[in-house]
Copies of this chain bind each other. A is one copy, B any other.
């Protein structure tokens, strides 16, 4: 199976590292021989339909920051042109996220479908903005479109609801889908510190971004619950439809008061066939939703299986690559049959 990797930042590098690490395992266990036919970044691309040397690609990127410097096979070709002209089965789309327009990732995906390539994506932006358009394009061309990595990183959510819990109607999903805000609230509670102090510390540790707006405003969580609403509940909504409140107004005093009644405060995203909400909520301290630090958690309320809760690492390069690999394996098994 040949793939085109679009985007060569932290996640893209994680994908190559994971493929490198697991290539023997994938061959042996699934009969899946993954070759990377092209890698694209802002500078251009490296192309070899026989399969690029992944360690060399990582080295070139590390040393020169530009994949177009890949010896002999590097070029300045435009990403859309690479997707169109390179012979491959799957486009793995991990370019930068824009949760307002979804671009340019959305155009990459549409181009992939147009040229008969399956798509695996970790990109919240286009999924939150143009879910229906993308799914329709995939269906029209009878192609697979998988995006487990877009919500909750390594934590299985979308495939869990659609496949592992097949037969169940999922009535509600709620949880903590952003590790940065969970880290901040956990730290404020444990050490009785105020929001600004903890945010600054999280930024110094690299847990919060220099511009933390998307995380602390709840926008990042909102994008994720929009994806769950569209993919699991069959809705057709965007971020504008989310009832949204962030964590910037939570005080250490509020956390103390919550504790006194056996609760804590978490930024909870919640979605049903009617509800679409992100806001700080009281959570009982002995609830499975009360997970600490950077962990993510999702609770599925189902008609047969009762409540199922899954907890995992919501971010990280190799962790996100894990979800992308499981999507690639699934596509391989679907094509094979």
| A337: B residues at CB distance < 8 A | 337
Which of A160, A292, A304, A310 has the most chain B CB within a 10 Å cutoff? A304
Q: Which residues of B contact A21 (CB under 8 A)?
A: 303-304
Q: Which residues, 291 to 337 on A, are CB-close (under 8 Å) to B?
A: 291-292, 295, 297, 302-313, 316, 318-319, 321-323, 325-326, 328-330, 337
Could you tell me if A305 and B154 are in contact, using CB atoms closer than 8 angstroms? yes
User: Smallest distance from the beta carbon of A259 to chain B beta carbons, Å?
Assistant: 13
Alpha-carbon gap, A102 to B168, bound state (A) = 30
Q: Which residues of B contact A312 (CB under 8 A)?
A: 305-309
Given contacts A288-B311, A292-B286, A310-B310, contact A304 B154 (CB under 8 A): yes
Q: B311 contacts A306, CB within 8 Å?
A: no
Q: A residues engaging B (CB < 8 A)? A: 18, 21-22, 25-26, 30, 154-156, 159-160, 163-169, 286, 288, 291-292, 295, 297, 302-313, 316, 318-319, 321-323, 325-326, 328-330, 337
CB neighbours (8 Å) of A155 from chain B are 305, 308
In the complex, the answer to whether A164 meets B154 with C-beta atoms within 8 Å is no
A22 touches B154 (CB 8 A): no
- Report the separation of the CA atoms of residues A155 and B311 in the bound assembly, to the nearest whole angstrom: 13
Q: Which one of B160, B303, B309 lies within 8 Å of A160 (CB-CB)? A: B160
Could you say which residues of chain B place their CB within 8 Å of the CB of A318?
Answer: 304
Of B297, B305, B319, B321, the residue contacting A313 (CB under 8 A) is B305
Could you show 20 A-B contacts with beta carbons less than 8 Å apart? A18-B304, A21-B304, A22-B167, A25-B169, A30-B166, A154-B306, A154-B308, A159-B164, A163-B164, A165-B322, A166-B325, A167-B328, A168-B325, A286-B292, A288-B311, A304-B321, A304-B322, A308-B311, A309-B310, A310-B310
A316: which B residues are within 8 A, CB to CB? 306
Q: Which residues of B contact A22 (CB under 8 A)?
A: 167, 304
Q: How far is the CB of A294 from chain B (nearest CB, A)?
A: 11
Residues in chain B near residue A330, CB distance under 8 A: 166
Output the least CB separation between A337 and chain B (Å). 3
Contacts of A286 in B (CB 8 A): 292
Smallest CB gap from A284: residue in B: B292
Closest B residue to A334 by beta carbon equals B337
